[in-house]
Amino acid sequence: MKSAVISIGNEILLGKTVNTNLAFLADGLAALGAPVVYNVVVNDDADDITRALDYCSSRYDIVITTGGLGPTHDDITKATIAKYFGKELVFQPDLWEYVQSLFAKRGVKAPEINRNQALVPQDFSVLENAMGTAPGLYYHHNGLNYFACAGVPIEMRYVFETHITEIIKKQFPKLHSLTQHTIHTFGISESALAERLDTSALPKGVEFAWLPQTGRVDLRLYGMDQEAVYQGAQDIIRQIPGYVWGLDEDTPAKVLGTLLSQRGLSISLAESCTGGLVAKMLSDEPGASDYLLGGVVSYHNDIKSSVLGVSEETLATDGAVSEQTVRQMVLGVKDLMDSDCAISVSGIAGPSGGSAEKPVGTVWFGFAYRDEVWAQKYILTGSRESIRHKAAEVAIITMIKRLISEDR
Amino acid sequence: MKSAVISIGNEILLGKTVNTNLAFLADGLAALGAPVVYNVVVNDDADDITRALDYCSSRYDIVITTGGLGPTHDDITKATIAKYFGKELVFQPDLWEYVQSLFAKRGVKAPEINRNQALVPQDFSVLENAMGTAPGLYYHHNGLNYFACAGVPIEMRYVFETHITEIIKKQFPKLHSLTQHTIHTFGISESALAERLDTSALPKGVEFAWLPQTGRVDLRLYGMDQEAVYQGAQDIIRQIPGYVWGLDEDTPAKVLGTLLSQRGLSISLAESCTGGLVAKMLSDEPGASDYLLGGVVSYHNDIKSSVLGVSEETLATDGAVSEQTVRQMVLGVKDLMDSDCAISVSGIAGPSGGSAEKPVGTVWFGFAYRDEVWAQKYILTGSRESIRHKAAEVAIITMIKRLISEDR
């Protein structure tokens, strides 16, 4: 079972949009057992689209196009595929009503140009799109399963997850899906892991891959035999006790959220260089209100003093990026919000602001858990964005490790 | 002058690596005046690579492959292109010396497997790669300019910037580079823009593209004539006064930061449903400390009262997502942090927590600018992530519009 993805859109070939849709679909189709083996990116050009359709539809079982389903004149995918498959475009009044209802919700009349969102090539099925006005389309003919999705990632993802996966499962009930397990580590480098891990004893048919992330390493095991992949993952985890903080879809925020929730603990945050990123990550999780009381972004030193109670003497003597400051910040926010746990972060994210003593990337972290308070310093590398991202993850993963340590 | 990029690598088609190399090359080649009009992604498979080479080399002036030049057994690009162009692979001792010297720097003997890094197809030029062991390759034949680069982004970028751009400029001295302008709009849908905008009067040779973003629309104009593209952009901007908040590389946070900085104004934030995202976006900008004092993430209602001074009666009567609450939040944080401007956000990001009266996506915003205070409600659509993202951008862009309005 082989899939191909045709990505349609000038913006990708102009270099202005990174083709994340391909990564999403490739991941999803591999998981279904219908891996993508070919992807082509073409402009919104009827000849290019037709050539790509022609190439793919004779070679692959599943072909998905993304992009070009919008209402404007440069969106020509629908007309092109209708012509390619020899179908008329038919106006579907219920789709036009749906489009109008979407605009009505926003208190706006649907512009007439959107009428073409209700055109569907004859014999094509409509795949409802709750995230936008352009429905997905499906056409099954001579063993080919052809799908069209909008290019807006949130719409494409919705149509894929809601409809396309179901259709593929129904069309190919015997598909063996690939089993994957991802092991998330922290605090050990890729080469140190490589020296420590023995992957030679992994069960046959289980593949092993290194996936370095920003500031930490993920390990992936995959194969067709579900049980063997699971056993392989357990074997790897046993070899590196203390470095594993999560599995599979886990994110630092999800793992910490689950731990706090299960234990009935609350948390508050005091952030300087991360500027709200730790709070943002924790509140990405639905249900975060169970444990996240809130936080203070004390970007300016005045706020560290006036809101969090960091002493002006500490700021003058030790500086904003110091052990004393993060200790006072974490106690300040824990007290202010009356939480069980608290985290503080203060560092130099760059690109400027570094010194010989405290180079860019120097980040101090403060932690409080019940009556316990401690601080840690890291020197993080990379761009401003990557230093901030790493700092937020270090903050969350360190708290995870503290909470997990009670179970040992 | 047209370019094609052939991306070679299983990891892209497994969905584990996003094809950022394409975006980089597409941007760079467009700037040179040799835009990418075709991209294909294939596995490390000789047949697939050969078919892609065959398709591209007869159609395009410049063809670049990325990936498959490494030393391991799955790297077959070099052998495949040598065969395709009918060339022998020749061992170049100086390249092998260079590879050995790289390993020596790390105190390691170069594994024998790396010897194949010194193999070069006859008549190909070697493009030195200071970032790794796999050199780039160049072959010029019958009007085709073919380049091969390693797939590791830092190596590919080095070879492109150091060698490929120079060769292209030399081969095509009359190349006119593409000029692009992006117009960022807010508060008007793609279809409403389409009805309002007259693009028929754009100067000849100026292309127009719609780039819908999450919750707003970007418009792009591009072409070879710098002055015409600029005039076209000015013409479009004149047609939609009040909807344009930025140009080109502008982001909401960058534009607001520049405005605050220029005017010597400070800002503070009180966030509930966005959970720190507005603060995070503003602090993404280096130099944000010039104007961003800080913020309070008042995720729990207790924090809205205890830290921001929202009255418990308001929370009980009007609820946390209400005009009264965001007005009190914004005044609370402005007072607490003593800022010139302040923004507050409180809404229902979902997926749960909605009601008939206040559905998921209901977001109230409070704004304060000097002595002025106002509030606005939006109903935003999409996932939790996209509602939060849109809410943060609405907050920032609304403040931008208020500050810009003083200039009119």
Q: How far apart are CA B25 and CA A16, in angstroms?
A: 11
Residues A308, A374: one domain?
yes
- Kindly report the three-state secondary structure assignment for every residue of A140-208: EECCEEEEEECCCHHHHHHHHHHHHHHHHHHHCCCCCCCEEEEEEECCCCHHHHHHHCCCCCCCCCCEE
B294 touches chain A (CB under 8 A): yes
What's the CATH number where A225 sits?
3.30.70.2860
A396, part of any domain = yes
Q: Which of residues 8-67 of A touch B (CB under 8 A)?
A: 10-20, 22-30, 35-43, 48
Residues B161, B56: one domain?
yes
> Residue B357 corresponds to which tokens in the numbers above?
């009266």
Domain boundary among B220, B247, B274: B247
Q: Is the pLDDT of residue B191 over 90?
A: no
Pair B277, A342: CB distance under 8 Å = no
Nearest to A211 among B16, B280, B351 (CB): B16
Residues B54, B115: one domain?
yes
Report chain A's mean pLDDT, rounded to a whole number.
93
- The DSSP symbol for B257 reads H
> Residue B21 corresponds to which tokens in the numbers above?
């190399």
Q: Is the pLDDT of residue A307 over 70?
A: yes
A195 touches chain B (CB under 8 A): no
Pair A232, A202: CB distance under 8 Å = yes
Percent of chain A residues topping a pLDDT of 90: 74
Q: Is the pLDDT of residue A207 over 90?
A: no
- Mean pLDDT lowest for which of A158-167, A217-226, B53-62? A217-226
Q: Which residue has the tokens 């952030």?
A: A271
- Of all residues in chain A, the one with the smallest CA distance to B34 is A14
Higher pLDDT, B116 or A228: A228
- Residue B359 phi/psi, 5° resolution? -70, 160
Closest CA to B148 of B81, B89, B60: B81
To the nearest 10°, the Cα dihedral for B252, B256, B261, B267?
Answer: -120
Higher pLDDT, B241 or B122: B122
- Mean pLDDT lowest for which of A126-130, A372-376, B11-15, B94-98? B11-15
Pair B49, A60: CB distance under 8 Å = no
CA–CA distance from B398 to each of B221, B390, B393 (Å)? 25, 12, 8
Average pLDDT over residues A201-214: 81
Closest CA to A295 of A254, A333, A252, A346: A333
Average pLDDT over residues B386-406: 94
Largest distance between two CA atoms of chain B: 83
Pair B400, B289: CB distance under 8 Å = no
- Note every long-range contact of B162-165, with CB atoms under 8 Å and residues 24 or more positions apart, other chains counting: B162/B127, B162/B128, B162/B130, B163/B127, B163/B128, B163/B136, B163/B138, B164/B64, B164/B127, B164/B136, B164/B138, B165/B28, B165/B32
Q: Which of residues 357-396 of B touch A (CB under 8 A)?
A: 379, 381-386, 388
Element (H, E) at A363: strand A362-369
A177, part of any domain = no
**Under DSSP, is residue A250 helix (H, G, I), strand (E, B) or coil?**
coil
Q: Which residues of B touch A350 (CB under 8 A)?
A: 286
Percent of chain A residues topping a pLDDT of 70: 99
Query: Using the beta-carbon criterion (under 8 Å), do A30 and B18 form an inter-chain contact?
Result: no
Residues A206, A333: one domain?
no
Picking from A96, A155, A208, A303 by the largest number of B CB atoms within 10 A of its own CB, the best residue to mutate is A303
Q: How far apart are CA A128 and CA A95, in angstroms?
A: 9
| pLDDT band, residue B365 (cuts 50/70/90) | very high
Higher pLDDT, B270 or A10: B270
A278, part of any domain = yes
Q: Is the pLDDT of residue B106 over 70?
A: no
Domain boundary among A119, A147, A171: A171
Residues B127, B225: one domain?
no
Q: What is the CA radius of gyration of chain B?
A: 27
- Of all residues in chain A, the one with the smallest CA distance to B296 is A296
Q: Is the pLDDT of residue A408 over 70?
A: no
Query: Using the beta-carbon criterion (under 8 Å), do B289 and A306 form an inter-chain contact?
Result: no
Burial of B142 per CB tally in 10 Å (0-12, 13-18, 19+): exposed
Report the alpha-carbon angle A203-A204-A208, nearest 5: 75
Q: Is the pLDDT of residue A191 over 80?
A: no
Say what the pLDDT of residue A222 is.
87
Say what the pLDDT of residue B24 is.
95
ipTM of the complex: 0.80
Q: What is the CA radius of gyration of chain A?
A: 26
What's the CATH number where B88 sits?
3.40.980.10
Report pLDDT digits (tens) over B248-299: 989 999 999 999 999 999 999 999 999 999 999 999 999 999 999 999 999 9
Q: Is the pLDDT of residue A212 over 70?
A: no
- Residue B75 phi/psi, 5° resolution? -90, 100
Query: Using the beta-carbon criterion (under 8 Å), do B35 and A13 form an inter-chain contact?
Result: yes
Q: Which residues of A touch B182 (CB under 8 A)?
A: 16
The DSSP annotation for B196-229 comes to H---TTSPTT-EEEEEEETTEEEEEEEES-HHHH
Residues A386, A278: one domain?
yes
Q: Which residue has the tokens 């292109």?
A: B81
How many CB pairs (< 8 A) connect A and B? Answer: 283
Pair A75, A44: CB distance under 8 Å = yes
Q: Which residues of B touch A337 (CB under 8 A)?
A: 300, 302-303, 306-307
Residues A241, A133: one domain?
no
Report pLDDT digits (tens) over B193-235: 988 999 888 999 898 988 877 778 999 999 888 999 999 999 9
Q: How far apart are CA A298 and CA B292, in angstroms?
A: 9
Residues A370, A280: one domain?
yes
What's the CATH number where A365 sits?
3.90.950.20
Q: How far apart are CA A256 and CA A403, in angstroms?
A: 9
B224 touches chain A (CB under 8 A): no
B45, part of any domain = yes
> Residue B154 corresponds to which tokens in the numbers above?
């830092």
Report the alpha-carbon angle A364-A369-A373, nearest 5: 50
Closest CA to A321 of A387, A377, A268: A377
Query: Using the beta-carbon criterion (under 8 Å), do B180 and A14 form an inter-chain contact?
Result: yes
Q: Is the pLDDT of residue B408 over 70?
A: no
- Mean pLDDT lowest for which of A145-149, A188-192, B170-174, B192-196? A188-192
**Under DSSP, is residue A260 helix (H, G, I), strand (E, B) or coil?**
helix
Q: How far apart are CA B136 and CA B54, in angstroms?
A: 20
Say what the pLDDT of residue B72 is.
73
Residues A267, A371: one domain?
yes
> What is the model's pTM?
0.79
Nearest to A15 among B15, B24, B269 (CB): B24
- Mean pLDDT lowest for which of A274-278, B379-383, B404-408? B404-408
Q: Is B7 left (phi over 0), alpha (psi -120 to 50) or beta?
A: beta
Side-chain-side CA neighbours of A77 within 13 Å: the count stands at: 29
Report the alpha-carbon angle B350-B353-B358, nearest 5: 95
Residues in contact with B278: Cβ distance below 8 Å, sequence separation at least 6, in sequence order: A276, B269, B271, B295, B343, B345, B392, B395, B396
Query: Using the beta-carbon criterion (under 8 Å), do A72 and B194 form an inter-chain contact?
Result: yes
Q: How far apart are CA A215 and CA A218, in angstroms?
A: 10
The DSSP annotation for B269-290 comes to EEESTTTTHHHHHHHHSTTGGG
Average pLDDT over residues A165-181: 89
B116/chain A closest Cα distance in angstroms: 23
Domain range spanning residue A35? 3-171
B177, part of any domain = no
Picking from B17, B41, B248, B339 by the largest number of A CB atoms within 10 A of its own CB, the best residue to mutate is B41
Closest CA to A295 of A312, A308, A311, A284: A308
- The DSSP symbol for A408 reads -
Residues A193, A149: one domain?
no
A227 touches chain B (CB under 8 A): no
| pLDDT band, residue A166 (cuts 50/70/90) | very high
Q: Which residues of A68-102 are buried (b: 16+ CB within 10 A; e: fewer)?
A: bbbbbeebbbbbbbbbbbeeebeeeeebbebbbeb
Picking from A98, A296, A333, A345 by the largest number of B CB atoms within 10 A of its own CB, the best residue to mutate is A296
Angle between helix axes A252-263 and A384-405 (nearest 10 degrees) is: 30
Say what the pLDDT of residue A162 is.
96
Pair B277, A284: CB distance under 8 Å = no
Report pLDDT digits (tens) over B323-351: 999 999 999 999 999 999 999 999 999 99
Q: How far apart are CA B69 and CA B65, in angstroms?
A: 10
Instruction: Specify the number of domains making up chain B.
Output: 3
Q: Are strands B267-271 and B292-297 parallel, antiparallel or unpaired?
A: parallel
Residues B381, B263: one domain?
yes
Pair A327, A375: CB distance under 8 Å = yes
Q: Which residues of B touch A37 (CB under 8 A)?
A: 13, 42-43, 48
Say what the pLDDT of residue B236 is.
95
Residues B166, B57: one domain?
yes
- Single-letter residue type at A392: A
Angle between helix axes A252-263 and A277-284 (nearest 10 degrees) is: 70
Report chain B's mean pLDDT, rounded to a whole number.
93
B24, part of any domain = yes
Say what the pLDDT of residue B374 is.
98
Q: How far is CA B75 from the centre of its chain?
A: 30
**Under DSSP, is residue B165 helix (H, G, I), strand (E, B) or coil?**
helix
Pair B35, B119: CB distance under 8 Å = no
A373/chain B closest Cα distance in angstroms: 22
Picking from B200, B222, B283, B307 by the largest number of A CB atoms within 10 A of its own CB, the best residue to mutate is B283
Average pLDDT over residues A92-117: 89
- The DSSP symbol for B67 reads S
Say what the pLDDT of residue B40 is.
97
- Mean pLDDT lowest for which of A179-188, B48-57, B280-289? A179-188
A392/chain B closest Cα distance in angstroms: 11
Q: Which residues of A touch B23 (CB under 8 A)?
A: 12, 15-19
Helices (H), ranges, B58-92: 77-84
Q: Is the backbone peptide bond immediately before A135 cis, with ω within 30 degrees of 0?
A: no
Report pLDDT digits (tens) over B20-48: 999 999 999 988 989 999 999 999 899 99
B104, part of any domain = yes
Nearest to B38 among A42, A209, A302 (CB): A42
B178, part of any domain = no
